Amino acid sequence: MTEDEITHLSAALAGRAPGPFHFRDICAGFDEMWIGDKVKAGHAFLNAVRAGRLPGVRDSGRKTGGGRLYLWAPEGASAR
């Protein structure tokens, strides 16, 4: 995942309330992507989260609603 993509995703997260979310909730144009591109982008996001490139985001370890569930807890806030 490029630094530019990380920047866009970080900006999308900054506008969200703390709590659970799916990658598709913060990825602009996700619904218009081909399925293979969705899978690749989702995996790149998971790798970025695991590498700590998106502070405040952690993998819940669960899949729900058709996708992996992440938790957003910006500094000073707690996820629900």
E runs forming strands in the chain: 19-22, 57-64, 67-72
Residue 24 DSSP symbol: G
pLDDT in tens, 6-29: 999 999 999 999 999 999 999 999
Statement: the pTM of the whole predicted model exceeds 0.75: yes
pLDDT in tens, 62-77: 999 879 999 999 985 5
Burial of 53 by CB count in 10 Å (0-12 exposed, 13-18 middle, 19+ buried)? Answer: middle
